[in-house]
Amino acid sequence: MIIPLFLFCVISSLRNSVFKVLYRSGFGNYLLKKNRKEQKIPVLVFHKVMPEYDAIWPGIHPRLFEDIILLLKKHYRILALEDLYTKEIQDLENACFITFDDGYKDYLDYAYPILKKHQTPSALFVLPYQITNKGHIWTSTIIFFVKHYSFTEIRDFFVERGADITYTDPKNDFKLNLDITIFLCRLTQVRRVKIINELQEKFVADNRVIEHELLSFDELRLLDRRYVTVASHSLTHPSFKSETDPVFLQTELQESKEIIERETGQNVEAFAFPFSNSNPDSIRLAKTLYKICFTDINQFVSLKKLQNEPDYKYDLPRFNVHHHTAEEVFFLINGFHQKLLR
């Protein structure tokens, strides 16, 4: 294991150096100017900001998060999310937006102090059902399973429930978690919930407890509204791709909004679809409840479309941030990575 770890460190160091050199060369500014000319702006989405490294669910280190904020402020006006649906298009030029999905407790511990320090607004897309009940997302149940059980136990559990999962690399915890999560996302909510509930019952029987990882409403009420907009991320974090039942959609989209508004006293006007998965039925309902929705990943928001296509505000993208340096994040949100993948 020493050699692969050494090679990983070398590759990471080289990657970081390349992006720092590219940034200092001015190439990043060239991309930025090109995107501004085309009236494209970035919305960033973070999940976890924490000092500990988690190989299965890597977060952003607080030092890196602060570096990202400082670099963004050099090149953009970081605006509150509501500006995206209240301001005129010309007032959004040179803008960017910072969002967080799920509402993890580490936001309050690490991200929020940095945002306040630099007077930077952000938006939190939260899950009220999880906050008021189990305190964690069903995907975290899978992560916990992968961390604390052998592959044989994991495989047998799913085989007993008729789950035909293809495992690409059982020895790699990151890939193992990803394989299981992707499989469960394809199931209907009813079948997925049954499996997750049985898994949680297994944890209880095995005397294993998952710690609450999401912000409570008491904690959400502590946040300064000048810096935090609270929005909805659904009720139970489902994949909406194949969900068409009108009662289910109404519950997930409307009840989450009503609970958050009641508990925080804030109007909830924005919705982020979990896993960036949606379908025509869910979008149709979202249009009656929200002013904007996020449905895509790693693309720009087009100000031209926002001005000329009324439905576009319900099909907005964000850039998923999980990189090693602020310079690489700058290149990510200016389309460099997409160009490499073409």
Please write the tens of the pLDDT for every residue from 167-202: 999 999 999 999 999 999 999 888 999 999 999 999
Q: Do 171 and 120 fall within a single domain?
A: no
Residue 333 confidence (pLDDT) above 60: yes
Residue 241 confidence (pLDDT) above 90: no
How confident is the model at residue 2, as a pLDDT? 40
pLDDT, mean of residues 284-308: 97
Q: Which domain holds residue 186?
A: 138-205
How many domains, in total, are found in the chain? Answer: 2
List the structure tokens of 133.
Answer: 């009940």
Q: Do 242 and 259 fall within a single domain?
A: yes
How confident is the model at residue 342, as a pLDDT? 58
Q: Do 168 and 101 fall within a single domain?
A: no
pLDDT, mean of residues 73-81: 97
Give the domain CATH number at 236.
Answer: 3.20.20.370
Residue 68 confidence (pLDDT) above 90: yes
| Bridge pairing between strands 77-78 and 122-126 | unpaired
Q: Do 252 and 125 fall within a single domain?
A: yes
Residue 122 confidence (pLDDT) above 90: yes
How confident is the model at residue 163, as a pLDDT? 93
How confident is the model at residue 172, as a pLDDT? 95
Residue 295 confidence (pLDDT) above 90: yes
**Does residue 284 sit in helix, strand or coil?**
helix
Q: How high is the mean pLDDT of the chain?
A: 92
In a domain, 28, yes or no: no
In a domain, 11, yes or no: no
Q: Name every residue whose Cβ is closer than 8 Å to that of residue 328 and which is 6 or more positions away in sequence.
A: 15, 16, 19
Indicate the range of 84-88, 136-140, 317-321 predicted with least confidence. 136-140
pLDDT, mean of residues 305-328: 95
DSSP code of residue 49: B
Determine the Cα–Cα distance for residues 336 and 329; give it in Å rounded to an integer: 10
Q: Which residues pair with 223 in a beta bridge?
A: none
Q: Do 326 and 247 fall within a single domain?
A: yes
Q: Do 233 and 114 fall within a single domain?
A: yes
How confident is the model at residue 176, as a pLDDT? 97
Determine the Cα–Cα distance for residues 128 and 232; give it in Å rounded to an integer: 8
pLDDT, mean of residues 277-292: 97
pLDDT, mean of residues 24-34: 94
Residue 258's pLDDT band (boundaries 50, 70, 90)? very high
How confident is the model at residue 13, as a pLDDT? 78
In a domain, 13, yes or no: no
Determine the Cα–Cα distance for residues 294 and 80; give it in Å rounded to an integer: 15
Q: Do 123 and 149 fall within a single domain?
A: no
pLDDT digits (tens, 9 = 90+) for 154-176: 999 999 999 999 999 999 999 99
pLDDT, mean of residues 127-140: 75
In a domain, 213, yes or no: no
Residue 16's pLDDT band (boundaries 50, 70, 90)? confident
In a domain, 57, yes or no: no
How confident is the model at residue 83, as a pLDDT? 97
**Cβ count near 176 (within 10 Å):** 23
In a domain, 161, yes or no: yes
Residue 340's pLDDT band (boundaries 50, 70, 90)? confident
Residue 11 confidence (pLDDT) above 90: no
Q: Do 165 and 235 fall within a single domain?
A: no
Q: Which of 156, 173, 205 is the last residue of a domain?
A: 205
For the whole model, what pTM was predicted?
0.93
Q: Do 71 and 168 fall within a single domain?
A: no
In a domain, 218, yes or no: no
Determine the Cα–Cα distance for residues 259 and 256; give it in Å rounded to an integer: 5
Residue 261 confidence (pLDDT) above 60: yes
Q: Do 318 and 195 fall within a single domain?
A: no
Is the separation of the CB atoms in 174 and 182 below 8 Å? Answer: no
How confident is the model at residue 3, as a pLDDT? 43
Q: Do 45 and 121 fall within a single domain?
A: yes
Residue 296 confidence (pLDDT) above 90: yes
Q: Do 111 and 154 fall within a single domain?
A: no
How confident is the model at residue 5, as a pLDDT? 52
Q: Which of 190, 205, 220 is the last residue of a domain?
A: 205
Residue 136 confidence (pLDDT) above 90: no
In a domain, 26, yes or no: no
Determine the Cα–Cα distance for residues 276 and 316; give it in Å rounded to an integer: 10
Residue 1's pLDDT band (boundaries 50, 70, 90)? very low
